Structure 1
Amino acid sequence: MSSRSGSAGNSGNLGRTRVGKYELGRTLGEGTFAKVKFARNVETGENVAIKIIDKEKVMKHKMIAQIKREISTMKLVKHPNVNRMYEVMASKTKIYFVLEFVTGGELFDKISSKGRLKEDEARKYFQQLINAVDYCHSRGVYHRDLKPENLLLDANGVLKVSDFGLSALPQQVREDGLLHTTCGTPNYVAPEVINNKGYDGAKADLWSCGVILFVLMAGYLPFEDSNLVSLYKKIFKADFTCPPWFSTSAKKLIKRILDPNPSTRIMIAEVVENDWFKKGYKAPTFENADVSLDDIHAIFDESEDTRNLVVERREIIGPAAPVTMNAFELISTSQGLNLGTLFEKQMGLVNRKTRFTSKCNANEIISKIEAAAAPLGFDVKKNNYKMKLLGEKEGRKGHLAVATEVFQVAPSLYMVEVRKSGGDTLEFHKFYKTLTAGLKDIVWKTIDEEKEEEGSSNGNGGAAAVVSS
């Protein structure tokens, strides 16, 4: 996950985009209102992630207050287990959050690749999660969407809580002392949140932590059902069973956390004193630095003083060509800078983003993807070596949207990234499997894999050079 202009030899690139002192690189992820890009501070050489929000969409959906809350939240929270925000900027049309760039991938990926974690390893991550959540609560901040996908790992395996887009600050608490916004991911959400009768943000966050601990140790969700009503019934009753490999003390703690009655549910202070939790526990060390909110006030200054604004400018370099990846950039696309995960057979682990390699030229790759996507009911929009695919049918979470980009790895080798930019992850998984079936003739395979494919009757060898993230 590196800047597209990190190599001096990228003379074939269409151009580089600069925002203030940051040079923007490839897209790391995107949602309805925001896109996250890799970036490099040209003054210090430091790698960062920049979350870019469209001002017009924010204004249209009356989200200024929510965006202010998100920025204020991340400014308030400075903790070794929380993804850090360095600064905030704005142009006339966009808002930019400059964030800590975390290279170790999502905790979700670790569960996907291992199936489940050993109890000691799961406890280590759970301890760091509780440290972060407890600190956030002490600052009056409630996350409200805790799940493995929002838990990142740095290069040293340290957990970082990210994505405060759904967080709540004290001013959102009503006169009854409760929060009233239903949000979060159904499988991880507390029963009182679903009930929509008001809830304690701290207790709801702890419930989500309990679900995460279960998933880390079991490798699957405690509450799972394809029917949403049936899923909610299971959550309301806390209808789950711990697998036999859980220790007795771990089972007891999880059952106390996943108590459907928030008034009798264990508190974080009690969790920290629990014997199972305390095993090998290390308290975090950090400094309480002074926080300035001046940059937040500046970008929302109604006088629109242009001195507070940055300019996004594009430097044209040469004719359009796929972005070239140097060795470091290629390695950094894999989890934790680990080359071993880059070309493994991981078709079963496709999550929200995946990649494959091809020896076909870039134009042929783009044409093949377009030809394979159109019959599946997708509207295709091309922009040089990037494509946007939008599903015509509405799915469980709206229309499935997929973004693809072609990168040049060597003169005759290209890497294609395919990622979900909207819609349901499971639907993306099904789409990707169908798409790759139509791309078998362009996906690169080693000699050994070609031999394996020839000897296989099920013809799955075409997905040999695939990596998920």
Structure 2
Amino acid sequence: MAVPFVQDWDLIQTLGEGAYGEVRLLVNRQTGEAVAVKVIDTSQGKECSENVKKEICINKVLSHPNIVRFFGHRREGPTVYLFLEYCSGGELFDRIEPDLGMPEREAHRFFQQLIAAVEYLHSVGITHRDIKPENILLDDKDNLKLSDFGLATMFRHRGRERRLNRLCGTLPYVAPELLSKLEFSAQPADVWACGIVLTAMLAGGLLSKLLRALPEERLSISELKTDPWFSQTLTSSSSHNKLLCSDTQLHRNNSDRVQFSSSQPDPALGVCVWEGSVCVGGADQVSFSQPARPDNMLLGSQLLGTPGASQTPWQRLVRRMTRFFTTLDSSASCSALRDTCIDLGHTFKHTCTNQVTVSTLDRRNNKLIFKVHLMELDQRVLLDFRLSKGDGLEFKRLFLKIKQKLSDIISTQKIPLPVT
């Protein structure tokens, strides 16, 4: 999908995709500045067009350091281009090791920033409705940025609050009342999703006061902010997790790993677990994980705060753990990848010269699809894995398995930093 009005920008890679379009990383060949553009084709459905209009309206009213900034949009026929802040640090879920999580100090800081973003959203009457690690980005200074407002909606206007009735989001992060009630309050549903994100960051710790099934018994954000664990300043990694009040326990059950993703609470502890990680907003929803920010494409002004010309092409790629360089050429690397995927029982398909699509089922028998781009950078071959459909942590587990089986062809050579 081209960007017709953009000049002097080279396409580096596709960052994310949805039912009606994709997000592309572009680099200015004159200045070396890197941007991303979210491209949406609205010709395939009226609902898509309406969702995009709502997403634009919501983005226009948002201004918070932990929310991706919106710089404007442009329409060319049925295609809409959204311009937002580019977050080169990648997605939060890339920091979460399956079944290990991340250091408590990091999780604590990211969670505080996430709550700050959600509290701000609620203060202006907006609910996100699809909070998950894949929709949480990091900038070049490792600050959290909540992104992707394709499913967001307004629940309060001029002091009047309405209850919601649309079931949407991603199932492992959906609050139980969305599945059991005709109407529900917006704010507790977002708080539940934040609790599941923290669960994933801390490798499956059940947060009893955030994840209570009854929304009226769930902690509010104002109550959460007074909690000793949340409000403390962590100066070093702790040897244990306090996890939101004394009656909350960290449960690690290795025997359950075959059944449950670490993004889900343990059902044995009294919390419902939904089988599946598919998006329940419908197949036609527009959902991306990486936004964009080329204000100079709109105004002709110079981009600020983006990587400069001193960086090599591989350094301008958005940070992602799910990639590695190989010691082979493109053809041999692709053959090795194909053999490994087939040995693991996955479906392997060439979609174009430098891209393959792999389809399989995760441990809960839900569809998992990812693409692998083969790129030649600095006379080396990079295999870049990107999730297309399914649970992000399940995708990470599968990537690690493939990487282990290909360990004999993975390059360990260090790439020199640019001379400044």
1:383 corresponds to 2:340: no
Q: CA distance change for structure 1 residues 194 and 326 in 2, over 3 Å: closer, same or farther?
A: farther
1:101 corresponds to 2:86: yes
Conserved 8 A contact 2:90-2:137: yes
What is aligned with 2:169? 184
1:146 corresponds to 2:127: no
What is aligned with 2:218? 265
What is aligned with 1:346? none
Q: Distance in 2 between matches of 1:121 and 1:374?
A: 37
**1:416 pairs with 376, 379, 383, which one?**
383
Deviation digits for residues 362-397 of structure 1, max 9, x if unmatched? 233345545655674636234232233456x89968
What is aligned with 1:30? 17
1:208 corresponds to 2:176: no
Q: CA shift at 1:164, angstroms?
A: 1.6
SS at structure 2 position matched to 1:48: strand
What is aligned with 2:279? none
Superposition pairs of residues 250-261 of structure 1, within 5 angstroms = 254-261=207-214
Q: Which amino acid in the other structure matches residue 328 of structure 1?
A: T
What is aligned with 1:307? none
Conserved 8 A contact 2:21-2:39: yes
SS at structure 2 position matched to 1:404: strand
Q: CA distance change for structure 1 residues 136 and 432 in 2, over 3 Å: closer, same or farther?
A: closer
SS at structure 2 position matched to 1:257: coil
What is aligned with 2:373? 405
What is aligned with 2:70? 85
Conserved 8 A contact 1:406-1:417: yes
Q: Which amino acid in the other structure matches residue 115 of structure 1?
A: G
Q: CA distance change for structure 1 residues 397 and 332 in 2, over 3 Å: closer, same or farther?
A: farther
Q: CA shift at 1:132, angstroms?
A: 0.9
Q: Distance in 2 between matches of 1:269 and 1:430?
A: 35
SS at structure 2 position matched to 1:137: helix
**Structure 1 regions of 5+ residues with no counterpart?**
1-15, 223-253, 282-309, 311-324, 336-341, 343-352, 447-469
**2:54 pairs with 59, 69, 73, which one?**
69
Q: Which amino acid in the other structure matches residue 153 of structure 1?
A: L
Q: Distance in 2 between matches of 1:78 and 1:256?
A: 29
Q: CA shift at 1:102, angstroms?
A: 0.9
Q: Which amino acid in the other structure matches residue 262 of structure 1?
A: P
Q: Which amino acid in the other structure matches residue 94 of structure 2?
A: D
Q: Distance in 2 between matches of 1:155 and 1:326?
A: 16
**Structure 2 regions of 5+ residues with no counterpart?**
235-296, 298-308, 414-420
Q: Distance in 1 between matches of 2:350 and 2:200?
A: 38
Q: Which amino acid in the other structure matches residue 82 of structure 2?
A: F
1:115 corresponds to 2:83: no
Q: CA distance change for structure 1 residues 122 and 17 in 2, over 3 Å: closer, same or farther?
A: closer
Conserved 8 A contact 2:155-2:164: no
Q: Which amino acid in the other structure matches residue 315 of structure 2?
A: I
Q: Distance in 1 between matches of 2:228 and 2:404?
A: 51
Q: Distance in 2 between matches of 1:445 and 1:128?
A: 35
Deviation digits for residues 289-331 of structure 1, max 9, x if unmatched? xxxxxxxxxxxxxxxxxxxxx9xxxxxxxxxxxxxx9963323
Deviation digits for residues 62-116 of structure 1, max 9, x if unmatched? 3222121122222221110001121212333532212211122333333328734
Q: CA distance change for structure 1 residues 373 and 92 in 2, over 3 Å: closer, same or farther?
A: farther
1:134 corresponds to 2:147: no
Q: Distance in 1 between matches of 2:90 and 2:154?
A: 27
1:47 corresponds to 2:34: yes
What is aligned with 1:328? 312
Deviation digits for residues 11-32 of structure 1, max 9, x if unmatched? xxxxx96543555331112233
Conserved 8 A contact 2:25-2:36: yes
Conserved 8 A contact 2:12-2:317: no
Q: Distance in 1 between matches of 2:395 and 2:95?
A: 20
Q: CA distance change for structure 1 residues 45 and 139 in 2, over 3 Å: closer, same or farther?
A: farther
Q: Which amino acid in the other structure matches residue 154 of structure 1?
A: D
RMSD across aligned C-alpha pairs, in angstroms? Answer: 3.9
Deviation digits for residues 108-134 of structure 1, max 9, x if unmatched? 33332873433x544332222222111
Q: Distance in 2 between matches of 1:187 and 1:280?
A: 29
Q: Which amino acid in the other structure matches residue 331 of structure 2?
A: N
Superposition pairs of residues 160-309 of structure 1, within 5 angstroms = 160-170=145-155, 177-216=162-201, 218-222=202-206, 254-274=207-227, 276-279=229-232
What is aligned with 1:363? 331
The higher radius of gyration belongs to 1
Identity over aligned residues, as a percent? 31
Deviation digits for residues 423-448 of structure 1, max 9, x if unmatched? 444664576567668756754467xx
Conserved 8 A contact 1:397-1:423: no
Q: TM-score, normalised by structure 2?
A: 0.66
Q: CA distance change for structure 1 residues 67 and 440 in 2, over 3 Å: closer, same or farther?
A: same
